[in-house]
Structure 1
Amino acid sequence: MQNLIDFISFSDPNVRYVVLGNVLLAASAAMVGAFILLQKKALVGDAVSHAVLPGVCAAFLFSGSKNTALMLIGAFVSGWLALITIDYIAAKSKIKKDAAIGLVLSVFFGTGMVMMTYIQQSGNAAQSGLDHFIFGNAATLVGADLVVFSILAAVLLLAVGVFFKAFALVAFDKPYAEALGYPVRRLDLLLTSLTVLAVVTGITAVGVVLMAAMLVTPAAAARYWTDNIRRMVGIAVAFGVFAGLSGAYISYVAPAMPTGPWMVVVSSAIAFFSFFFAPRKGIVPRMYMQRKNQRVIVEENTLKMFYHLGERNSHFDGMRSLDELASTREVNKALLKTALRRLVAKGLLASRDGQWALTDAGHQKAMRVVRLHRLWELYLTKYMDIASDHVHDDAETIEHILTPELERELEHQLGYPDKDPHDTEIPK
């Protein structure tokens, strides 16, 4: 607890630099990463993060020292050239874009490693710690670095804020954006530049190898929590900031632990949690909803059995045995027993001596399901021109999802019919 208090008090200047640096780079990367993800350019972020290494090394060779601003400029130029090269190869050759990304990533990163090896063997004492650009080392951040990061983050925030609507439109519907007169090509170039800038902002702390994860992972996790792009960007930034804070805290309480990799680990943990447990889109909630919908379908089909048996002898409230119910359609008796128990618990069926009968509420429910089935069959034959002997299976599915509003609209469109295509009465 004392470690946490010391950490959040920011009494240690080094902690302040690391925390603020991590927050700025994580927020910047997540903000731009949301648009990269929506445009299906996630691999581009990986290519850029690896392609900046030659620029860093070239800047060091040019200056002979680890000038942060100069190396970030070199990284920006190198990353931007990599993206231009990818687009050029994809446009002017038979090589597809994914192959072009892999090719450029390998060539640029390999060139960077060769240059890094040359620098390390050059005898220049200033090269010590230059390899931190590969894997990152947030603990080395100082006040001057924070100033640079703040400027870059402000530029990213301003650019995204000004062009947010345009970026969103291009991400979701590029042809429509072109039809409206948006300069799509220029917007793509701007987003490309912002992507490189976001990578450049983070390589000092996370490194070129892991920076792609900070671009894409928070955005991918946020995508599971909302369908609104503004909320998605906000959630992605929040996830990125949390990962940055967590990485800084872990490295604070365990100095041997590197900050950058832990940021990626925390971000990945958030992503996996989102994949499995995010409401509506998570795997577990979707499985739950599927099982719930399956139960509803079985229950409604069971009520239909009672109604169809009642139609045969005009006796809807009669007691029915399990075998009698099973004779109306192919059904698993174990599932049928389970459905009968649930329907009794819901008050839709009454049970006595191993037999069941519809209650008033159950009769109304069964009648509505049958009505929806027959209305939909009539709609398909009348408006879709489908033969009456081909509409049953479709109606079996649709009857369970039609809302009361659609039910009223169907009745209105069909003129409040009395009979279905098979000349069977439609319940009222």
Structure 2
Amino acid sequence: METWWHALTFSLGYNTSVVTLGSMLLAAAAGMVGTFVLLRKRALVSDAISHSTLPGLALAFILVGLVTGDGRLLPALLLGAAASAALGLWAVQAISARTRLGEDAAIGAVLSTFFAFGVVLITVIQSMRVTGQSGLTGYLVGATAGMLASEAQLIAACALGLLAAVLVMRRDFLMVCFDADFARTQGVNTWRVDLLLLMLLMAVVVVGMKVTGLILIVALTIIPPVAARFWTDQPMAMVALAALLGALSGYLGVTLSSVSEGLPTGPLIVLCAFGLFLASFLFSPRRGVLASLLAYRRFRQRVHLRQGLLALGRDEPIFDGLTLSLLRRRGYIRRDGVATPPGQAAARDAEHEERLWALYRERYPDDALHREHAGLTPIAQVLSADAIMALEAQLMGLREMRP
């Protein structure tokens, strides 16, 4: 625990601090871009882009290795990965636009083909007489612990560039994500906006290969935005929250990996992101499982209590155990099932309100369709005082007309 505390407070060492900050910035950038990709319903595109980087990475290693004898030249590897990812992205777009295949089928075809080609090239690399072959595995599964200060600076520059692009293009991004047809009528070139969004995603994937690996970088573009969606309905708040959750995942993952030697940093970052997603899934007050269960329980109790009061008002027998329990708990009936004075008053009020709702639905059927009350919400919380007075007058008139 002491080692972890030192890592959490950035006092474990220079290298750990650099790795922590670099991972946090990368995960925050991935969360920002991934939010728009998720809202655009193209989350699987990030998977295709990440797997498409492998053949370009391997080809760049082969070319540099043949020229210099050592293929581990980071700018060349990143350039090759970016070119290959761009080619894979173009292939997905072309297949889905010019054939009858859907985008999911195009992603599957491109992902598997490019990744298979990359595996073949890596096999070829292992037989070459160059140095640095073992360094390629870091791009597959991540080599976060070996992050250099220059690489952290590159990630920081990428994160700042992505933040600037998001702030400048947020209006166009949101319009295209939610209603591309409307965006076209407003003069927005949706094709260019989509291309820019995918290019930003490609930049995150290429830069993040060294941190979590090309296989796991996809998780950082999907899991934080999905977790953020449980907490808010506001798009830009979701972007900020996804960036925050991504940064927190990187922070926790790197610091946890420093507790024991040999713990993989990239997978721990992804596992921490999943932990935050699981916490959001279970405990979010808006859409969490616990909140949904509590809301269902409250709704069920309201239905049973309402039906019980109506049964008391109509002098009907009650057999349901939950209804009887709720009525006893509120003091509306005695243990023998006989209504108490408060119960009789509540039953009269419920019966009267039910008549008002029935009259409202009869006189104003169109408006009643848009009211999500179903008779459970007190009518005074839904309609205005003037509307209730009008219904009361109409109800009294109907009573006077009856013989």
Quick one: distance in 1 between partners of 2:35 and 2:380? 38
Q: Which of the numbers 301, 309, 326 marks the counterpart of 1:339?
A: 326
Quick one: distance in 2 between partners of 1:425 and 1:351? 35
Equivalent in the alignment of 1:107: 113
Equivalent in the alignment of 1:180: 186
37 and 373 in structure 1: CA distance in 2 versus 1, 3 angstrom threshold: same
Equivalent in the alignment of 2:250: 244
Higher relative contact order (CA 8 A, sep 6+): 2
Equivalent in the alignment of 1:4: 4
Deviation (angstroms), 1:372: 4.2
Kept in 1: contact 2:72–2:135 (CA 8 A): no
164 and 353 in structure 1: CA distance in 2 versus 1, 3 angstrom threshold: same
Q: How many residues align?
A: 394
Q: TM-score, normalised by structure 1?
A: 0.84
Shifted more, 363-372 versus 162-171: the winner is 363-372
Equivalent in the alignment of 2:68: none
Equivalences for residues 15-34 of structure 1 within 5 A: 15-34=16-35
Deviation (angstroms), 1:162: 0.9
Which sections of structure 1, spanning at least 5 residues, go unmatched? 310-323, 327-331
Quick one: percent identity of the two aligned structures? 32
- Amino acid aligned to 2:340: A
Quick one: distance in 2 between partners of 1:358 and 1:12? 73
Quick one: distance in 1 between partners of 2:116 and 2:389? 67
Q: Output the aligned Cα RMSD.
A: 2.8
Q: Which of the numbers 307, 310, 320 marks the counterpart of 1:301?
A: 307
Quick one: distance in 2 between partners of 1:353 and 1:113? 77
**Larger helix share, 1 or 2:** 2
Quick one: distance in 1 between partners of 2:191 and 2:89? 14
- Amino acid aligned to 1:9: F
Q: TM-score, normalised by structure 2?
A: 0.89
Equivalent in the alignment of 2:387: 411
Equivalent in the alignment of 1:146: 152
Equivalent in the alignment of 2:104: 98
Kept in 2: contact 1:116–1:131 (CA 8 A): no
Equivalent in the alignment of 1:63: 64
Kept in 1: contact 2:37–2:43 (CA 8 A): yes
405 and 5 in structure 1: CA distance in 2 versus 1, 3 angstrom threshold: closer
16 and 371 in structure 1: CA distance in 2 versus 1, 3 angstrom threshold: same
Deviation (angstroms), 1:367: 4.4
The CA deviation string for residues 383-413 of structure 1, in whole angstroms up to 9 with x for no partner, is 58x9xxxx9xx99972124663532389379
Shifted more, 177-186 versus 370-379: the winner is 370-379
SS in 2 for 1:399: coil
255 and 299 in structure 1: CA distance in 2 versus 1, 3 angstrom threshold: same
Quick one: distance in 1 between partners of 2:355 and 2:384? 11
Quick one: distance in 2 between partners of 1:84 and 1:402? 57
Does residue 290 (structure 1) correspond to residue 296 (structure 2)? The answer is yes
Which sections of structure 2, spanning at least 5 residues, go unmatched? 66-70
- Amino acid aligned to 2:2: Q
Quick one: distance in 2 between partners of 1:40 and 1:119? 37
Quick one: distance in 2 between partners of 1:410 and 1:86? 60
134 and 424 in structure 1: CA distance in 2 versus 1, 3 angstrom threshold: farther
Kept in 2: contact 1:136–1:204 (CA 8 A): yes
Quick one: distance in 1 between partners of 2:271 and 2:12? 26
Quick one: distance in 2 between partners of 1:80 and 1:425? 79
Does residue 374 (structure 1) correspond to residue 358 (structure 2)? The answer is yes
